Amino acid sequence: MDWMRRASGPARHIDAATAAQPVKSGDHVVSAMASPQMTPFAFHRALAARAGELRDVTIDTSWSGAAATLLQPGTETSWATSSVFAYTAAEYSALAAHSEQVNYAPMNPSFMGWFANRPERDEFTRRYTGADVFVVTVTPPSGAGFVTFGTNLWNARVQMRNARIVIGEVRDDLPVIPGGDNWMPATAFDYFVSGESPAEQAFFAPTPEEEIDASAVCCAYTAELIHNGDTVMFGGGSIPIRLAPFLEDKEDLGCHSEVIFPVDLARKGVITNRKRNLVPGKTSLTGFIPRSGEECDWIDGNPTIDLRDMYVNNHPRYIAQNDNLVAVNAPLEVTLWGEIGCERVGPRYFRGVGGQVEFVTGALLSKGGRSIHGVISRKRLATGELVSTIVSEFTPPGAASISRQFADMVVTEYGVARLLGKTERERAQELIAIAHPDFRPELREAARKSVGLGTRTFLPGTTGA
For residue 198, what pLDDT is reported? 79
How many CB atoms within 10 Å of residue 206? 10
Q: Which of 390, 355, 388 is nearest to 371 (CA)?
A: 355
CATH class of the region 2-194? alpha beta
Q: How many Å apart are CA 341 and CA 280, to the nearest integer?
A: 33
Polymer length of the chain: 465
Q: How many Å apart are CA 384 and CA 387, to the nearest integer?
A: 10
Residue 87 identity (one-letter amino acid): Y
At residue 36, φ and ψ (nearest 5 deg) are -60, -20
Q: Is 142 exposed, middle or buried (0-12, 13-18, 19+ CB in 10 A)?
A: middle
Report residue 406 CA to chain centroid gap.
19
Work out the angle at residue 400's Cα, subtended by the Cα atoms of residues 395 and 406, and round it to the nearest 5 degrees: 140
3-state secondary structure 152-219: ECCCHHHHHHHCCEEEEEECCCCCCCCCCCCCEEHHHCCEEEECCCCCCCCCCCCCCHHHHHHHHHHH
Find out whether 131 and 28 touch, Cβ atoms under 8 Å: yes
DSSP label of 65 = S
| 209-451 has the same fold as 2-194 | yes
Domain range list for the chain? 2-194, 209-451
Helix axes 440-451, 424-434, angle to 10 degrees: 180
Q: How many Å apart are CA 49 and CA 70, to the nearest integer?
A: 9
At residue 420, φ and ψ (nearest 5 deg) are -60, 125
For residue 69, what pLDDT is reported? 92
Helix (H, G, I), strand (E, B) or coil at 310: helix
Superfamily of chain region 209-451 = Acetyl-CoA hydrolase/transferase C-terminal domain (3.40.1080.20)
β-bridge pairing 254-255 and 231-234: parallel
- Verify cis geometry, omega within 30 degrees of 0, for the bond prior to 303: no
- Write the DSSP string, 433-464: HHS-GGGHHHHHHHHHHHH-BTB----TT---
Q: How many Å apart are CA 446 and CA 81, to the nearest integer?
A: 40
pLDDT 10s digit of each residue in the chain, 465 long? 554 554 555 669 999 999 999 999 999 999 999 888 899 999 999 999 999 999 999 999 998 999 989 999 999 999 999 999 988 888 989 998 999 999 999 999 899 999 999 999 999 999 999 999 999 999 999 999 999 999 999 999 999 999 999 999 999 999 999 889 999 999 999 999 999 887 766 667 788 999 999 999 999 999 999 999 999 999 999 999 999 999 999 999 999 999 999 999 999 999 999 999 999 999 999 999 998 889 999 999 999 999 999 999 999 999 999 999 999 999 999 999 999 999 999 988 888 999 999 999 999 999 999 999 999 999 999 899 999 999 999 999 999 999 999 999 999 999 999 999 999 999 999 999 999 999 999 999 999 999 998 865 545 554 443
Name 254's bridge partners: 231
Find out whether 85 and 354 touch, Cβ atoms under 8 Å: yes
Q: How many Å apart are CA 32 and CA 40, to the nearest integer?
A: 8
At residue 102, φ and ψ (nearest 5 deg) are -125, 130
pTM of the complete model: 0.94
Report residue 402 CA to chain centroid gap.
15
Catalytic residue numbers read 258
For residue 436, what pLDDT is reported? 98
